[in-house]
Structure 1
Amino acid sequence: MSLFLLFFVVVMTASGLTYELLTASLVTSLVGDSVLAFSTIIGTYLFSLGCGAYVSRLIKGRFYILLVQTGLAVGLLGGFSTTLLWILFSWGSGFFVGVYLLLFSIGSLVGLQLPLIMRALKERLPFKELVSGVLGLDYAGAMLVSVAFPLFLVPQLGLIHTAFCFGILNVLATLGFVFLYDDEGRWNFLKVEGFTALALLAVGVFASNPVAELTEQNLFPDPIIYAQSSSYQRIVVTASSNDIRLYLNNNLQFSSLDDYRYHEALVLPPLRCVREPKSVLILGGGDGLACKLLLQDPRIEKITLVDLDPAVTALFRTNPLLTQLNKDALSSPKVEVINKDAFVWIESTDQKFDLALVDFPDPSSYSVGKLYTTYFYRLLRSRLNPGGAISVQSSSPLRAPRSYSCILATLEEAGFKARPYHCYVPSFGEWGFSLATVDQVNEFYPCNIEPRFVTEEVLPTLFVFSPDMKPAKSEPNTLFDQRLVRYFRQDWDSASL
């Protein structure tokens, strides 16, 4: 009995932490801002553990029935947690109330269980063995999950099935306790409750995929043709009769109806600042659409594409619909794909490039904001050949003026000669870029790409801004004070009012 109760501690701790991580990961993938999500969710969960532990002092007499029922309740709530939150998010209201209410409920029940298990063990183990055994296994269970969660559970099972697996584990461990302790048949009603919970979770495992697909489809205007949760993000591709769209964590990355506008604006201005572009670096851009454009220029001998997520580059290298869109650019012998963190890679490489295209997501979190800092841009500048140029996607100068100006100020602080420019992309609205060169460039050189949008006549107009897009005053973004993230959140919060 003592060994089983100690095993029960491991299951309880591991499952509770798993539900906490699942909730934080789901919130991050749906609404972004991983720092805020993980901080508030961890805080709420720890607080609820304390509340549950405190309430346990009020429980008198025999408590084994309550221990069993809390175990079953944790299994049911935790198992269905991710599915319930998916449904709440698709409804469009009550999502955050549901997140913290569900998390507090699970944490309180887990916090209640630990003192009850210690009471059950106190008659079987000396006090010092009791405390060291329970707390040691508590921390061991947490360590086990923290390693398995990102390396195996989420990549192999996904968020929804991971929740159900741990819910079933909770219920099985609780039923094991019932059968082990009840040798006189007094707890048959608990066995019925346990098998009922197990049956509900089993149904949930098989019904969760259709439910998740239905609720996720409600988030997008066009039918979903591909969806996957990678180690880094939720990847969704939708398609209609004339449009293919990529969403990462529910944020639109491109629409095939107008992606040429965005990518020509990203590629052609810096390309035309370089007299003889032979080597090109693309940071981000795992969809291969910028590669497709660059491969039209025979002067380019080598393209190095650094994208964090191998799931994205694999998708755009193998999916027939998407390879048709990017003209199989990622399989070109001229293209080398490297799946690493761009920040780490740029620090470690000694390669030199004539041109760099920086196509990162918007700086809505500190993990992305580091890629827009003076430190990063100085590193990037040191990887350019004399006469080199870069372009940076820089959010909207109309909706996020301080963010846009901050990126320009950061490039200049890093030693670049920076110029702002913009274009209209129907899917995004007015969108901004930054052109930065190592040396002063006073002319645009010819290139061998036939544009659909950025023609000879249109190119100069990209650098003309209307009065309502007048740059705002901003300070450079540094690694140790990522003010750009604050600017970005404030800009878009104001734009949404």
Structure 2
Amino acid sequence: MATLTSPAATDAPTGRRVGRTALLFVVAVCAACGLVYELALVATGSYLVGSSITQTSLVLGVALASMGIGALVAKRLIGRPAAGFVAVELVLGVVGAFCVPALYTAFAWLGLYTPALLVAAVAVGTLIGAEIPLLMALIGRLGDDDPAFVVADMSAADYVGALVGGLVFPFLLLPVFGLLTGSLLVGAVNVTAGLATGLVLLPDRRRWLLAAGVVALGLIGLMHVKTGDFELTAQQKLFRDPIVLHEQTAYQDLVITESTTPDGPDTRLFLDGDLQFSTLDEHRYHEALVHPAMNGPHDRVLILGGGDGLAAREVLGYDDVESVTLVDLDPAVVAAARTVPRIVEANRGSLDDPRLEVVHDDAFTWVRDGGSGPVDVIVVDLPDPDTVDLAKLYSVEFYGMAAGLLAPGGRMVVQSGSPYFVPLAFWTIQATVEDAGLATVPYHVDVPTFGDWGFVLATFGGEPALRIPGDAPALRFLTDEVLAAAAVFPPDRLPDPASVEASTLLDPVIVEAARSGWAGY
């Protein structure tokens, strides 16, 4: 059996304290890495398939159960804790580093994402579970402390490391390195921690350790070198048209594609894989969204969402608009809309209009804090509510706070999804707006890339008039006749009153309504 430390160091209290402290530091590093691996699995699932609660539950549940399996497996290694721990860390570093690219491969090429996620969670959980018994054995051999003190020290170091990992992941790794490179970096740190521990505790096996470390770090380094090509190839597999911009922002996965069609150039924006617009027909959507709400005073306008500048283009087409405030969470979306030539052409440079102010903030928080004063028109152009994170933006509470910003006679319009594909979600949104104390008029138009798409126009008092303002700029799609027809819904898409209820912060029924509707398409 290999000795853990030299006899002199083992006999000296100072040496034992230093060795114990160093091992506790390794415990903290490994705990941080382990938590990052689990968070990376959750984030990958959220980006690729949505449903963050489902992804979190699967990853944490399976990983925690697998940690128990790992602890049992580690019993076979207790007799050689140093060698066992180093082997576990080298393997865990490589597995953790490659989880994200492996899941992306399973999603893009194999269509086996969920099975791959479960395998990854089992592998990571089993290896993490094997760490603790081996580390306890190592620390126990460095002193004569009561086992309870060993557990206390281990737990403290483990929890501190988990805190570090939990903070580093969202505030450093994702925004600075991105999900793929960040996971590779953490894997390299994990391998390095294990290798360093082995070089100190197993001096007679340094040659083998160095060789194993070089192989592990070499694999991670090779993947890092190929990261750009891998991401581009995998991304392109998921999109029909050539990708001209891909960015993992602090909040979402942003992709812009471009192609040429018989009808003209087609530029498309995708956020977390969901299509936001196509320049072939986005004018249908944005004309229908904006102009009915502009029928009345419209000196001051608030746009919630709409970082692409396309709704702002329609608003700023009115010469008498004095000010527009656009609140969008993600600066990267606005930056792309200001710099990608085809998008700038589509939004006509609206984001640089001197009448417009861009605020980068969460719409819910900004509205709750009181906004910037009363406005005549509110345009709510937010992503579809198919995740719990977005549900708060489709709640009675949110609409109530937003309506509180309206000047007398003001109007609010909400993009409300498809009354054909997700009728329950559409009518839930209308019911939610009404529950906030507003009178509503629902309407819908055909947007070829989206299908049948709906909106809810709202105001205080009586139902708002569904008309195009007399001073509207020239429009490509919307007319009074089209708008009149837009208020008519076929009987098979009218709501069953018994099945429609308002969505609130504590009961976000809109999420299930949105998910279930799209399930068959």
Unaligned runs of 5+ in 1: none
The structure-2 alpha-carbon separation of the partners of 1:261 and 1:116, relative to structure 1 and needing over 3 Å to count, comes to: same
Residue in structure 1 matching 2:89, options 64, 71, 85: 71
The 3-state SS of whatever aligns with 1:464 is coil
1:477 is paired with a residue whose SS is coil
Change (3 A) 1:169 1:490: same
Q: Deviations over 1:193-246 (max 9, x none)?
A: 221111111111101221121011100000111111111110110111211000
Give the equivalent residue in structure 2 for 1:343.
Answer: 364
Q: For the residues of structure 2 that align with 1:312 and 1:220, how far apart are their CA atoms?
A: 19
Report if aligned partners of 2:78, 2:134 keep a CA contact under 8 Å in 1: no
**Cα RMSD, aligned residues only:** 1.6
Matched, 1:481 2:476: no
Alignment of 1:47-446 (within 5 A): 47-125=65-143, 126-127=145-146, 128-183=148-203, 185-186=204-205, 188-241=207-260, 242-272=265-295, 274=296, 276-349=297-370, 351-440=373-462, 441-442=464-465, 444=467, 445-446=469-470
Alpha-carbon contact 2:386-2:514 (below 8 Å) kept: yes
Deviates more, 1:328-337 or 1:40-49: 40-49
CA distance in 1, matches of 2:438, 2:484: 20
Deviation at 1:60, TM superposition (A): 4.9
Deviation of the 1:373 alpha carbon: 1.3
Alpha carbons 2:291, 2:472 under 8 Å: kept: no
The CA deviation at 1:387 is: 1.1
Query: What secondary structure, in the 3-state scheme, does the structure 2 residue paired with 1:174 have?
Result: helix
Match of 2:489 in 1: 465
Query: What SS class does the counterpart of residue 392 from structure 1 fall into?
Result: strand
CA shift, 1:62, in A, is 2.1
Instruction: Give how far 1:165 is off.
Output: 0.7
Unmatched runs of 5 consecutive residues or more in structure 2: 1-18
* AA in 2 matched with 1:250: G
Using a 3 Å threshold, how does the CA distance of structure 1 residues 35 and 289 change in structure 2: closer, same or farther? same
Cα deviation, 1:40-71, whole Å, max 9, x if unaligned, reads 21222222222212332344522332222111
Q: Deviations over 1:105-146 (max 9, x none)?
A: 111111101110110110213235422322111111111111
SS at structure 2 position matched to 1:146: helix
Moved more, 293-302 or 484-493: 484-493
Number of residue pairs matched by the alignment: 492
- Matches of 1:177 and 1:6, distance apart in 2: 11
Q: Give yes or no for contact 1:355–1:390 (8 Å, CA) kept in 2.
A: yes
Alpha-carbon distance in structure 2 between the residues aligned to 1:395 and 1:443: 18
Please tell me whether the aligned partners of residues 386 and 439 of structure 1 are also in contact (alpha carbons under 8 angstroms): no
* Cα distance per residue 1:255-305 (max 9 Å; x no partner): 000000000010111112x2x210111111110000011111011111111
The structural deviation recorded for 1:458 is 1.7
Comparing 118-127 with 149-158, greater Cα deviation is found at 118-127
Task: Single out whichever of 67-76 and 46-55 deviates more from structure 2.
Answer: 46-55
What letter corresponds to residue 357 of structure 2 in structure 1? E
Give the equivalent residue in structure 2 for 1:45. Answer: 63
Q: How many Å apart are 1:393 and its aligned residue?
A: 0.9
Alignment partners' CA distance in 1, 2:167 and 2:511? 29
| Contact residue 121 and residue 130 of structure 1 kept, 8 A | yes
| 1:332-388 alpha-carbon deviations (Å, 9 max, x no partner) | 111111111111111112511111111111111222111111111111111111111
**Compared CA separation, residues 177 and 60, structure 1 to 2 (3 A):** closer
Question: Structure 2 length normalisation: TM-score?
Answer: 0.91
Deviates more, 1:92-101 or 1:276-285: 92-101
- DSSP-derived class of the 1:457 partner: helix
Q: Distance in 2 between matches of 1:447 and 1:145?
A: 56
* Counterpart-to-counterpart distance in 1, 2:496 and 2:356: 38
The one-letter amino acid paired with 2:162 is A
SS at structure 1 position matched to 2:473: coil
Whether the 8 Å contact between 1:263 and 1:290 is mirrored in structure 2 is yes
Displacement of 1:89 in angstroms is: 0.8
Number of the residue aligned with 2:477 = 453
Deviations along 1:475-494, one digit per CA (max 9) or x if unpaired, are: 1112221112122222222x
Distance 1:92 1:252 in 2: 22
Question: Conserved in 1, the CA contact under 8 Å of 2:78 and 2:133?
Answer: no
Distance 1:367 1:180 in 2: 46
The one-letter amino acid of 2:503's match is N
Contact 2:199 2:209 in 1 (8 A): no
Deviations 1:402-455 (A, max 9, x none): 111111111112111111100000101111111112232347341331110002
The CA distance in 2 between the partners of 1:443 and 1:167, in whole Å, is 57
Q: Distance in 2 between matches of 1:258 and 1:482?
A: 31
CA distance in 2, matches of 1:147, 1:411: 37
Q: Percent identity?
A: 37
